[in-house]
């Protein structure tokens, strides 16, 4: 446990649900974490009103920003002209050492571009990655997948670094002592797949003893939610297709399930009786519970919460940031060096 005061910097203006959802999320998290302080960036007047009379008032600083990043803004434009946005300001608090973690629900591309521009990459890291928590049958309830979309390319060295970043994240964020790492491929045989995957196989495999993880080799798309692996390494193109395909599949099934329960009286009644169990199920595979893609490979922790996340989801992203800050995650992240 790190003894430093934990401060979380939050962009209040990025949510599709408006600043109220973000502030409600902060309130939820603040209640669970009485020693944590917050810096909230955005429209000072509306944020002040939202936290009036709450227990947050005494441990929350509001920094006014006159502008905000919209979902349609191009990342390059924000890097050039975004100085007055709440997103920029939120990252700045981390850069200046006033906060350990930045949380934003805003435009992913702009958040990554600004994070790279202001915080810079860790020494030795070529491409930062976005790691997500993937609902799974493991004891933890999810596995770590990276990269899910920071960069559309990754060579063997990038994939090796993703493995090391994921390793540190699994240890510091979730207390997994000896994580199991796999590389996403089209088959589990060693000779399968693209050449950079085979090279990454050798690099990661040879580091397992020294770094204290278990290498499970190649895994397939169907293995992502399995209990045989904790960390799944892939390039950002493939990872992004995979995560969105899973989302589409879950939506397809839940849509079909709803119409199935509407079919006749008995199934409607059945659905009603089963409701509490289905709500429990929904919670288990609910992205809100595991909300928060994390940007790895930067000089600072940046967490991207889903743009449409509700207060519970936003609180969950903030809580993840608090756990990482407490674990000293940031101090130790720059161990992602290639084995010599």
Cis amide bond preceding 224, omega within 30 = no
SS3 10: strand
| Rounded distance between C-alpha atoms, residue 42 and residue 235, angstroms | 34
| x/- track of binding to a second copy for residues 271-300 (CB under 8 A) | xxxxxxxx-xx--xx---------------
**Nearest approach, Cβ of residue 18 and a second copy (Å):** 24
Looking up tokens 């090391």, which residue turns up?
Answer: 164
Query: Quick check: 238 binds a second copy (CB under 8 A)?
Result: yes
Query: Quick check: 203 binds a second copy (CB under 8 A)?
Result: no
- Distance of CA 181 to CAs 1, 38, 98, 168, 233, Å? 26, 34, 34, 12, 7
Strands 129-135 and 293-296: antiparallel
Residue 101's DSSP bridge partners are: 8, 301
Q: Are 90 and 10 in contact (CB under 8 A)?
A: yes
**Nearest approach, Cβ of residue 131 and a second copy (Å):** 16
Query: Quick check: 77 binds a second copy (CB under 8 A)?
Result: no
User: Which of residues 2 and 249 has its CB atom nearest to a second copy in the complex?
Assistant: 249
DSSP label at 338? P
Figure out which of the listed residues 71, 250, 331, 338 binds a second copy, where binding follows CB under 8 A: 250
Size of the site for a second copy (CB under 8 A): 58
| Rounded distance between C-alpha atoms, residue 180 and residue 242, angstroms | 20
| x/- track of binding to a second copy for residues 144-163 (CB under 8 A) | -----x--xx----------
Q: Which of residues 35-54 bind a second copy (CB under 8 A)?
A: none
User: Which of residues 45 and 257 has its CB atom nearest to a second copy in the complex?
Assistant: 257
Angle at 60 between CA 56 and CA 66, to 5 degrees: 125
**Nearest approach, Cβ of residue 247 and a second copy (Å):** 5
The residues of the shown chain that bind a second copy, judged by CB under 8 A, are 135-137, 149, 152-153, 184, 186, 193-194, 220-226, 234, 236-238, 240-253, 255-257, 260-261, 263-264, 266-267, 269-278, 280-281, 284-285
């Amino acid at each position: 446990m790190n003894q430093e005061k934990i401060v979380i910097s939050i962009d209040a203006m990025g949510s599709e649900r408006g600043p109220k959802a973000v502030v409600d999320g902060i309130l939820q998290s603040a209640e669970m974490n009485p020693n944590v302080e917050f810096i909230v960036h955005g429209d000072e007047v509306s944020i002040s009103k939202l936290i009036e009379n709450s227990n947050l008032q005494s441990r929350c600083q509001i920094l006014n920003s006159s502008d905000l990043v919209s979902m349609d803004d191009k990342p390059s434009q924000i890097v050039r002209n975004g100085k007055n946005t709440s997103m920029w300001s939120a990252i700045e608090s981390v850069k200046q050492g006033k906060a350990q973690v930045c949380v934003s629900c805003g435009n992913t591309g702009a958040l990554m571009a600004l994070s790279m521009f202001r915080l810079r990459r860790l020494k030795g890291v070529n491409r930062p990655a976005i790691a997500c928590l993937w609902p799974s049958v493991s004891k933890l309830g999810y596995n770590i997948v990276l990269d899910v979309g920071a960069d559309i390319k990754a060579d063997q060295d990038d994939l090796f670094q993703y493995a090391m970043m994921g390793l540190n994240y699994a240890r510091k964020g979730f207390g997994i002592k000896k994580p199991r790492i796999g590389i996403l491929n089209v088959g589990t045989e060693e000779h399968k797949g693209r050449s950079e995957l085979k090279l990454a196989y050798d690099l990661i495999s040879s580091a397992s003893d020294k770094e204290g993880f278990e290498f499970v080799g190649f895994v397939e798309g169907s293995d992502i939610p399995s209990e045989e692996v904790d960390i799944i390494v892939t390039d950002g193109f493939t990872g992004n297709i995979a995560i969105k395909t899973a989302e589409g599949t879950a939506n397809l099934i839940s849509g079909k399930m709803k119409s199935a329960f509407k079919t006749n009286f008995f199934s409607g009644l059945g659905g009603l009786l089963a409701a509490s169990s289905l709500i429990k199920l929904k919670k288990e595979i609910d992205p809100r519970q595991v909300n928060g893609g994390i940007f790895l490979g930067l000089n600072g922790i940046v967490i991207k919460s889903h743009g449409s996340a509700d207060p519970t989801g936003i609180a969950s992203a903030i809580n993840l940031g608090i756990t990482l800050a407490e674990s000293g995650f940031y101090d130790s992240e720059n161990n992602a060096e290639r084995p010599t």
